Amino acid sequence: MLLVILGIAGVLLLCILILFFWFTRSSSTQNNLPPVPTGNNLIPTPISIPPTSSLFTTPIQNSSSPTSYQNTTVNPTPQTNPPVVIDQSKNALLMQRITTRAPLSNADLQTKAVLIRSLQPDEVLYQAPNYRIDYVAAADVFQVEIQSVDYLTAKKDAVTYLTSRGFSMDAVCNLPVMFYLNFNIAQELQGKNIQFNPLAEGC
């Protein structure tokens, strides 16, 4: 009987020892685990942002360093050859005379009718070396294309031709006869600070 009791006691002691060692090892393993991030550990490290001024610079290569930075500005290119401009006051007068027609004399009306009947199929009245005169039926005007850089002489020659055909200067001004520059001539006259008058001189 005593032997049975001692055997049971030995088994219980062995079980207690096993549980003690298992508990001790389990606690040690848990202590070695990395801590769970909490609080501020969940916030990522802030990213450093460069100063605002550096966002508006352009890399410039030079001999002193592989890459340096320099503020860049765009300077407008000076206009060394300004185009020919239209005299705005004369242009306004031209538009007024087209929209509000002054009456022509009977002689000028007859000359106009004769010139219109003599038009070529493309409505060209006359082609000279330095100008061309044609008639625009839709606007009811004679127009002169200046084809020479000596535009003042070309305008004078065109007026001389029209008056030689029977028009008075009143008709040249009040029809009206309109002058304009050929595109290539206008390009050649760039940079000369010209204000072009679309009417005959003196109108």
123-175 tens-digit pLDDT: 999 999 999 999 999 999 999 999 999 999 999 999 999 999 999 999 999 99
Tokens of 56: 């508006």
Whether 115 and 123 have beta carbons less than 8 Å apart is answered as no
Report whether pLDDT(19) > 90: no
Angle at 37 between CA 32 and CA 38, to 5 degrees: 125
Residue 172: closest CA among 200, 197, 135, 137: 200
Report whether pLDDT(28) > 80: no
DSSP conformational letter for 62: -
66-107 pLDDT tens trace: 333 334 344 555 567 889 999 999 999 999 999 999 999 999
Classify residue 176: in a domain, yes or no. yes
Which comes out higher in pLDDT, residue 122 or 72? 122
Query: What is the total count of domains within the chain?
Result: 1
Mean pLDDT of the chain: 74
Q: Which residue segment(s) compose the domain that 135 sits in?
A: 85-196
Name the percent of the chain lying above pLDDT 70: 61
Residue 171: closest CA among 133, 141, 138: 141
Q: Is 201 exposed, middle or buried (0-12, 13-18, 19+ CB in 10 A)?
A: exposed
Mean pLDDT lowest for which of 45-49, 113-117, 125-129, 177-181?
45-49
Classify residue 93: in a domain, yes or no. yes
Classify residue 10: in a domain, yes or no. no
Distance of CA 65 to CAs 68, 70, 121, Å?
A: 6, 13, 73
Distance CA 3, CA 177 (A): 145
